[in-house]
Amino acid sequence: MLTALTTCFPIAVKAQNELPVVTTFSILGDMVERIGGKAVAVTTLVGRNGDTHVYQPTPADAKAVRNASILFTNGLEFEGWLDRLAEAAEFTGELVVTTNGIETIVLQEHNDEHGEESHEDEEHHDAPGTEPNDNYDADEDKDHAGKEHGDVEHEDGHDEHEHGEFDPHSWQSLKNAIVYVDNITAALAKASPTNATTFYENRAVYVEDIESLDKQIRDMIAALPPSARTIVTSHDAFQYFGQDYDITFLAPQGLSTESEASARDVAQLIKQIRAQSISAVFVENVADPRLVQQIARETGSVVGGKLFPGALSNKDGPAGTYLELMHHNATTIASALSGAKQP
């Protein structure tokens, strides 16, 4: 018995010394695990192949958030359900918005509706304390979040989530990924100073890998004909990727997978695909593929493969880590465009 207790004791100490952190979705979870290593215990709310746009938190999520020292979030109104979850969990730790410092893409639709206006950066506050609630009501949260985050009810009875001024899918740029990594590293080092050296060493290796992949993708895309760099995806999640690598992305759905494409928008997109001889369309792991498949049939386009806009695949899948996700998306796109018809 004494031997058994002695053997188990170091394991117990190690578990107690791990910094408990929560990340909102799988890409952030992978980044934090890469930087934190064995010094952190990461709980990710929206798991692999999960759609953050439509996620409904659970009682287990509230408990994890309440016990976390750090809550890592994307921000830019990507996680519309997060504020109420943090309140219900009585979260008192450090809220880290990993997109702070990123040059965000301003939404054209926002400018069209409201004109060019200058807005101050988002202010992020710790959620006010409320009574802890393990009986978290996801349906109530969905209704409450809709009222808090600007859901708009249209005449057809559907609700459309308004994301705000900026495109939140900024992890689709490897340049932006370095900003994510810097924010994560600084937060972990502050929370666990004894492990700060390890965190920054992990960061240095990670940044080298990010920069190497960025160069690889740039070389890959540079070999493609500029006239054939327009593709169609399920929803509008790849503008940062397009900005970095000079690719035009079109989508029948808006920024959220919750949005519904109108018949007019789909008809206009089909007309544009035919006019520009766009031959590459892609389905996504977090979106219903049927609309894109229908568009492909009506235009004679080929479904070039599956892209991963905002969630990792299973660990043994093609996008098991963030860098594997970016590599898979790039090679899938490049493969389809290399054989694209010229307009």
pLDDT of 150 > 70? The answer is: no
pLDDT confidence band for 140 (50 / 70 / 90): very low
**pLDDT tens digit string along 1-40?**
444 444 444 444 445 589 999 999 999 999 999 999 999 9
The answer to pTM > 0.85 is no
H or E, element range at 248: strand 248-250
Query: CA 231 to CA 252: how far, in whole Å?
Result: 12
Burial of 303-335, coded b for 16+ CB within 10 Å and e otherwise, reads bbbbbbbbbbbeeebbbbbbbbbbbbbbebbbe
> Apex CA 239: angle with CA 235 and CA 241, to 5°?
115
Residues 153-164, mean pLDDT to the nearest whole number: 38
What CATH number is given for 225-338 in this structure? 3.40.50.1980
- Specify whether the CB–CB gap between 203 and 35 falls below 8 A: yes
pLDDT confidence band for 226 (50 / 70 / 90): confident
Which residue reads 């994890």 in tokens? 64
Beta bridge partners of 253: 235
pLDDT confidence band for 257 (50 / 70 / 90): low
H-only helix segments in 192-289: 196-222, 239-245, 263-276
**pLDDT tens digit string along 96-136?**
999 999 999 987 644 444 334 333 343 333 333 333 344 44
**pLDDT tens digit string along 41-88?**
999 999 999 999 899 999 999 999 999 999 999 999 999 999 999 999
pLDDT confidence band for 251 (50 / 70 / 90): confident
**pLDDT tens digit string along 169-195?**
999 999 999 999 999 999 999 999 999
Residues 316-332, mean pLDDT to the nearest whole number: 97
User: Which CATH fold would you assign to the domain 12-191?
Assistant: Rossmann fold (3.40.50)
Domain boundaries, the chain: 12-191, 225-338
Q: Which residue has the higher pLDDT, 219 or 277?
A: 219
pLDDT confidence band for 164 (50 / 70 / 90): low
Domains 12-191 and 225-338 share a fold: yes
Query: CA 26 to CA 14: how far, in whole Å?
Result: 24
